């Protein structure tokens, strides 16, 4: 049985195929169209999912989309009528914007199946986030927390899952949103709201959270029943600036230009600290209501890996599960698996522990691309050893191998790698390759068995979604991946999930004594991660990357480097 999952309503449009209950392929539309975080209907991703799986449209038994368009409609109408001044942009977004999205879906459907095709199942957004994540988690039962900006109208979901059954314990509704709460400081710090929240998280350790903590704490309340209440007087909605005049009055002017003032840093720090505090309060409600030892975290806010790290350490659960595409991209998977397990009543057979669900290219194809460009490449039987040596020598290497990752993090198949033990390497990669803000840290990938030597973490972090302390005695050993507060966004690599990358890190460890590499996504700032060998070569030749390893082939700019 083949279920096509689609996220097309919000950002990060994505398609996936669930085949007999297993996630066979999942691809974000941005990787193919090069339009980062695209909101367009994922036509190309759908076509590519089918071709990668060797299927055609005729093979699809059901379609699952991660939105229920008319859900909570009466609440929306009541909200709009109560706010005459924002009625027009609100109605434009809900009616015109929503209608257009449906039009694109219907158009695609009619073109694909002119005589009629499989049934479309509309799955509520937080059901796709929360229930979908639970169903692909390794847990038979778990507490479930889903938090984002907003779905149809819900902004959070607290629940408990057992088998294929999920009970809802609490929900919050727009505008009471933790996502909205965190978008305001993102805009205040000069970043793009609903897009660059990771930058706010990276900036936070440079500020003092206590300066504004009390004031920020009063803006978001977690009620004993698990619902959230936002003091909306500080925030802007429906096209207005996210920081309302009252927000500016409380914290001063937002960032305008390159430099950060103390109030920008302190606002980022306070909002990050309070976000974590409130998430822990939600976890406490879940602990009390479920008595569960396992926790699922889903929704866009689950990409806040610093928050996740604190939940792991302080919330009292044994461990957490966050799917690699925790944001709206992952709802394509969540909706499809929900339809398979709950709507169609099939048993759970899938654990989403493999993030490598995208496209791949053979050595033969890569060789053809290199020849077509009239480039010289060397073929290496042991590409991992070759690249390990280059990294040990201080080279920056583009690493393009196997199937592309799903989700925003490069996990060793579309990665740029460097030596984390070299002082100055962070600045070098930032300045010569990534061209991004100097304050942003790079992540470490470590062989899972060596994790405890370098990092203080509970459990594994296979999807780079937990920030943890670097052991203080290792700060000097790992200067390029240790953030200003002594933390790191950890990626643990096991032999089972990525043997080649595991081998590379091991070889690097043999040469340097440290089985840890600096791993950043294979792209430059503002662009999606590369998908194809052609895109990888374009990035390689337009940046300061020293060598490019694609499949078994190595291309170097400096002939002496290999």
Nearer to Fe ion, 65 or 390 (CB): 65
Strand pairing of 119-122 and 62-65?
Answer: parallel
* Cβ atoms of residues 280 and 315 within 8 Å: yes
Nearer to Fe ion, 152 or 456 (CB): 152
* Cβ atoms of residues 179 and 149 within 8 Å: yes
Binding site for Fe ion (CB under 5 A): 148, 328
Nearer to Fe ion, 130 or 270 (CB): 130
Nearer to Fe ion, 148 or 187 (CB): 148
How far apart, in whole angstroms, are the C-alpha atoms of residue 257 and residue 30? 28
Nearer to Fe ion, 127 or 535 (CB): 127
Residue 242 forms beta bridges with which residues?
none
Query: On the CB side of 472, how many CA atoms lie within 13 Å of its CA?
Result: 0
How far apart, in whole angstroms, are the C-alpha atoms of residue 60 and residue 46? 11
Structure tokens at 332: 């394509």
State the nearest-atom distance from the C-beta of 328 to Fe ion, in Å: 5
State the nearest-atom distance from the C-beta of 472 to Fe ion, in Å: 37
How far apart, in whole angstroms, are the C-alpha atoms of residue 330 and residue 340? 16
Alpha-helical runs (H) found in 458-532: 499-512
Helix (H) or strand (E) run with residue 278 in it: helix 262-290
Nearer to Fe ion, 6 or 478 (CB): 6
Residue 550 forms beta bridges with which residues?
400, 553
State the nearest-atom distance from the C-beta of 308 to Fe ion, in Å: 16
State the nearest-atom distance from the C-beta of 337 to Fe ion, in Å: 16
Helix (H) or strand (E) run with residue 145 in it: strand 141-147
CA distances from 153 to 72, 97, 172, 178 (A): 6, 15, 9, 13
Helix (H) or strand (E) run with residue 534 in it: helix 533-541
- Torsion, Cα 344 350 353 357, to 10 degrees, reads -70
Q: Please list the active-site residues.
A: 11
Nearer to Fe ion, 52 or 148 (CB): 148
How far apart, in whole angstroms, are the C-alpha atoms of residue 415 and residue 402? 11
Give the phi and the psi of residue 267 in degrees, each rounded to 5: -65, -45
Residue 22 forms beta bridges with which residues?
19
How far apart, in whole angstroms, are the C-alpha atoms of residue 105 and residue 124? 16
* Cβ atoms of residues 491 and 519 within 8 Å: yes
Nearer to Fe ion, 171 or 328 (CB): 328
Comparing every residue's Cβ against Fe ion, the nearest one is: 148
Nearer to Fe ion, 281 or 328 (CB): 328
Buried-state track 111-141, b at ≥16 Cβ within 10 A, e below 16: ebeeeeebeebbbbbbbbbbbbbbbbbebee
State the nearest-atom distance from the C-beta of 331 to Fe ion, in Å: 6
- Torsion, Cα 31 33 38 43, to 10 degrees, reads -100
Nearer to Fe ion, 69 or 394 (CB): 69
State the nearest-atom distance from the C-beta of 300 to Fe ion, in Å: 5
Using left for φ > 0, alpha for ψ between -120 and 50, and beta otherwise, residue 419 falls in beta
State the nearest-atom distance from the C-beta of 73 to Fe ion, in Å: 19
Strand, coil or helix: what is 483? coil
How many CB atoms sit inside 10 A of residue 373's CB?
Answer: 13
Residue 221 forms beta bridges with which residues?
229
Q: What's the full length of the chain, in residues?
A: 562
Strand, coil or helix: what is 486? coil
State the nearest-atom distance from the C-beta of 66 to Fe ion, in Å: 8
Tokens 């914290």 -> residue: 251
How far apart, in whole angstroms, are the C-alpha atoms of residue 406 and residue 327? 11
State the nearest-atom distance from the C-beta of 205 to Fe ion, in Å: 26
How far apart, in whole angstroms, are the C-alpha atoms of residue 329 and residue 323? 10
């Amino acid at each position: 049985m083949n279920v096509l999952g689609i996220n097309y309503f919000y950002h990060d449009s994505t398609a996936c195929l669930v085949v007999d209950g297993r996630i066979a392929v999942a691809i974000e539309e941005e990787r193919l169209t090069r339009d980062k975080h695209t909101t367009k209907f994922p036509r190309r991703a759908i076509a590519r999912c089918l071709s990668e799986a060797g299927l055609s449209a005729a093979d699809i038994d059901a379609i699952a989309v991660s939105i229920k368009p008319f859900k909570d409609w009466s609440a929306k109408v009541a909200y709009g009528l109560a706010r005459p001044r924002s009625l027009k942009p609100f109605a434009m977004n809900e009616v015109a914007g929503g209608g257009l999205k449906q039009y694109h879906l219907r158009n695609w459907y009619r073109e694909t199946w002119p005589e009629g095709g499989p049934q479309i199942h509309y799955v509520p957004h937080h059901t796709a986030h929360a229930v979908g994540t639970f169903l692909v988690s390794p847990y038979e039962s778990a507490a479930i927390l889903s938090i984002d900006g907003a779905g149809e109208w819900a902004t959070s979901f607290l629940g408990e899952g057992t088998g294929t059954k999920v009970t809802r314990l609490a929900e919050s509704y727009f505008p009471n949103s933790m996502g909205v709460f965190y978008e305001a400081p993102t805009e205040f710090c000069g970043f793009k709201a609903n897009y660059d929240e990771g930058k706010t998280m990276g900036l936070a350790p440079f500020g003092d959270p206590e300066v504004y903590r009390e004031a920020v704490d009063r803006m978001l309340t977690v009620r004993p029943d698990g619902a959230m209440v936002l003091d909306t007087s500080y925030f802007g909605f429906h096209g207005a600036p996210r920081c309302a005049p009252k927000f500016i009055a409380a914290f001063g002017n937002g960032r305008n230009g390159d430099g950060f003032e103390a109030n920008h840093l302190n606002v980022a720090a306070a909002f990050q600290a309070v976000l974590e505090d409130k998430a822990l309060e939600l976890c406490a409600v879940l602990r009390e209501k479920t008595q569960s030892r396992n926790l699922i975290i889903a929704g866009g806010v689950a990409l806040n890996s610093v928050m996740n790290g604190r939940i792991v350490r302080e919330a009292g659960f044994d461990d957490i599960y966050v799917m690699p595409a925790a944001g709206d991209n992952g709802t394509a998977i969540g909706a499809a698996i929900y339809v398979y397990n709950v709507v169609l009543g099939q048993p759970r057979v899938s654990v989403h522990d493999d993030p490598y669900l995208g496209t791949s290219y053979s050595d033969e194809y890569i060789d053809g691309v290199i020849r077509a460009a009239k480039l010289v490449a060397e073929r290496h039987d042991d590409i991992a050893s070759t690249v390990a040596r280059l990294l040990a020598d201080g080279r920056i290497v583009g690493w393009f191998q196997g199937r592309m990752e799903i989700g925003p993090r490069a996990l060793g198949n579309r990665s740029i790698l460097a030596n984390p033990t070299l002082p100055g390497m962070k600045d070098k990669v930032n300045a010569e390759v990534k061209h991004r803000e100097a304050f942003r840290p790079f992540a470490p990938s470590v062989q899972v068995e060596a994790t405890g030597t370098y990092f203080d973490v509970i459990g594994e972090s296979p999807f780079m979604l937990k920030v943890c302390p670097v052991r203080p005695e290792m700060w000097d050993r790992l200067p390029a991946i240790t953030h200003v507060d002594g933390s790191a966004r950890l990626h643990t690599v096991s032999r089972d999930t990525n043997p080649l990358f595991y081998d590379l890190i091991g070889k690097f460890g043999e040469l340097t004594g440290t089985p840890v590499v600096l791993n950043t996504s294979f792209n430059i700032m503002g662009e999606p991660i590369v998908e194809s060998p052609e895109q990888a070569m374009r990035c390689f030749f337009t940046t300061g990357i020293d060598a490019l390893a694609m499949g078994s082939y190595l291309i170097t700019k400096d002939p002496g480097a290999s």
